[in-house]
């Protein structure tokens, strides 16, 4: 069985939903994971914020406006009167629930309850549409099997056992439709896999049912070798290894949730990235195969904070780094890049929620310099650290100020830390010299 995930734009208009139907309706059994309609999750996040911050009236206005939009989509999508009415009743139930959410609940409960509704509605609507078109489909409620543990990792055993039960109770069908993104937490409360989490849902399910393949359908022809928002002439990458894909997803290639390949890597289940608007295109195949092609892709991640920690105590001493790392551990902040010299260590974080507390602790043991608005530019490719192109890097980047560099941490990645205002220039220069082979 295959698992196919369709993102927000794929279910964002009636025309696109028709495309999705044509892609999935080939008579073979499959699980289809859906995101919320595009834009919905952002709107739900805003509504949750209004409620928590006591702007109930503003929230109610937004809820009612969204309800009108959903009814319009349903009218366009469902010409069958009975299915139309049934779906509108379901959606009305959701919007009434939203109107009843209150600032008396914790902010977390409000947000988790509210953002989950996007996927619940898109799957209900799409399933109704398939029924109308005579497709043999059934809904699998994700909250009956998808669960994370206390570390926010998928609870693999729970998921495998419960998914089997849900599948056998609701089948047989050609198409099993389920919600991406949403899950239960370890206390059984409604939660989610973080923004963009539907990709992760697809590979978690893929691993749980030992799928032959997971397909992630979006609105672009696979993962590109540079960021198409900032650079012209980017190309889709046809093949990536799991390691390369993981580095790219983490370091800013927005197309994939950063955890996506983790669940399927162990069983080498391939992940194919495809374009709903152009199904014939090859897309990107992520698998256990590697190919020796030097630098395959460049990605950038913004919002990075760099911290330089300087201490005379570091000189020929041991245990200093341990103290530093313990501070980050206490505040549950993960470190991305790190470089050291004999008297200083520089590192980067992307989550600055606890920055003040971290700095206060570090201040007790060292002197500190902080740079905000930094970007990590990451070059990825199999054995990239050994490849001949790599030695051209410094020539290429002569006029970009590199704040830190990480080389050799893994064979597949070289990371540069730069000021965010130099990012576009850096991406463009790297693109023209590495992929368009302009002379240095």
Residues in contact with ligand ASP by the rule CB under 6 A: 7-8, 35-36, 41, 118, 180-181, 195-198
What H or E segment, with its residue span, contains residue 345?
A: strand 344-349
Cβ contact 338:281 at 8 Å:
no
**Number of shown-chain residues binding Mg ion (CB under 5 A):** 2
Of residues 114 and 379, the one with the C-beta less far from ligand ASP:
114
Of residues 180 and 206, the one with the C-beta less far from ligand ASP:
180
DSSP string, 144-208: GT-BB-TTS-B-HHHHHHHHHHHHHHH---SEEEEESSEEE-TTS-EEES-TTTHHHHHHHHHHH
Which three-class secondary structure state does DSSP give residue 34? strand
Q: By C-alpha distance, which of 221, 144, 206 is closest to 179?
A: 144
CB of 249 to Mg ion, least distance (A): 10
The CA distance from 378 to 393, in Å, is 12
Which three-class secondary structure state does DSSP give residue 393? helix
Stretch that binds Mg ion, among 76-84, 192-200, 390-398, 422-430 (CB under 5 A): 192-200
Of residues 154 and 258, the one with the C-beta less far from Mg ion:
258
The CA distance from 156 to 154, in Å, is 5
CB of 296 to ligand ASP, least distance (A): 25
Stretch that binds Mg ion, among 143-151, 177-185, 191-199, 358-366 (CB under 5 A): 191-199
Stretch that binds Mg ion, among 4-12, 155-163, 164-172, 409-417 (CB under 5 A): 4-12
Of residues 110 and 146, the one with the C-beta less far from Mg ion:
146
CB of 199 to Mg ion, least distance (A): 6
What H or E segment, with its residue span, contains residue 304?
A: strand 297-310
Q: Which of 118, 180, 196, 222 binds Mg ion (CB under 5 A)?
A: 196
Cβ contact 48:114 at 8 Å:
yes
Of residues 73 and 358, the one with the C-beta less far from ligand ASP:
73
CB of 5 to ligand ASP, least distance (A): 8
Of residues 5 and 67, the one with the C-beta less far from ligand ASP:
5
Cβ contact 84:111 at 8 Å:
no
CB of 217 to ligand ASP, least distance (A): 12
The CA distance from 45 to 41, in Å, is 6
CB of 131 to ligand ASP, least distance (A): 23
What H or E segment, with its residue span, contains residue 45?
A: helix 40-52
Stretch that binds Mg ion, among 39-47, 193-201, 314-322, 407-415 (CB under 5 A): 193-201
By the criterion CB under 5 A, which residues form the site for Mg ion? 7, 196
């Amino acid at each position: 069985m295959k698992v196919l995930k369709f993102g927000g734009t794929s279910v964002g208009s009636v025309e696109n939903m028709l495309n999705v139907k044509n892609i999935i309706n080939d008579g073979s059994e499959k699980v289809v994971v859906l995101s919320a309609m595009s834009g919905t999750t952002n709107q739900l996040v805003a509504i949750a914020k209004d409620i928590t911050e006591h702007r109930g009236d503003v929230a109610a206005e937004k809820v009612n406006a969204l309800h009108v939009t959903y009814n319009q989509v349903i009218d366009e999508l469902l010409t069958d009167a009975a299915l139309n009415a049934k779906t509108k009743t379901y959606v009305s139930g959701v919007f009434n629930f939203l109107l009843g959410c209150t600032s008396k609940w914790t902010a977390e409960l409000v947000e988790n309850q509210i953002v989950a509704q996007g996927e619940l509605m898109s799957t209900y609507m799409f399933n109704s549409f398939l029924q109308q078109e005579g497709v043999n489909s059934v809904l699998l409620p994700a909250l009956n099997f998808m669960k994370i543990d206390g570390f926010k990792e998928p609870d693999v055993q729970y998921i495998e056992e419960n998914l089997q039960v849900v599948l056998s109770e609701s089948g047989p069908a050609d198409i099993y439709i389920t919600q991406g993104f949403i899950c239960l937490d370890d206390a059984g409360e409604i939660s989610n896999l973080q923004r963009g989490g539907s990709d992760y849902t697809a590979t978690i399910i893929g691993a749980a049912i030992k799928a032959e393949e997971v397909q992630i359908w979006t609105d672009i022809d696979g993962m590109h070798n540079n960021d198409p928002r900032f650079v012209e002439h980017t190309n889709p990458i046809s093949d990536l290894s799991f390691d390369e894909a993981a580095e790219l997803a983490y370091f800013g290639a927005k197309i994939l949730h950063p955890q996506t390949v983790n669940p399927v890597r162990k069983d080498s289940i391939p992940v194919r990235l495809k374009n709903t608007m152009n199904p014939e295109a090859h897309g990107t195949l992520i698998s256990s195969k590697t190919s020796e092609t030097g630098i395959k892709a460049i990605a950038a991640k913004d919002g990075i904070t760099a911290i330089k920690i300087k201490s005379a105590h570091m000189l020929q001493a041991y245990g200093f780094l341990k103290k530093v790392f313990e501070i980050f551990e206490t505040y549950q902040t993960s470190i991305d890049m790190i470089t050291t010299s004999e008297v200083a260590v520089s590192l980067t974080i992307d989550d600055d929620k606890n920055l003040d507390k971290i700095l206060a602790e570090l201040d007790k043991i060292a002197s500190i310099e902080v740079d905000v608005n930094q970007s990590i530019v990451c070059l990825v490719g199999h054995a990239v650290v050994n490849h001949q192109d790599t030695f051209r890097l410094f020539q290429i980047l002569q006029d970009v100020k590199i704040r830190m560099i990480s080389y050799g941490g893994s064979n597949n990645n070289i990371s540069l830390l730069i000021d965010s205002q130099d990012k576009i220039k850096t991406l463009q220069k790297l693109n023209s010299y590495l992929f368009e082979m302009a002379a240095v």
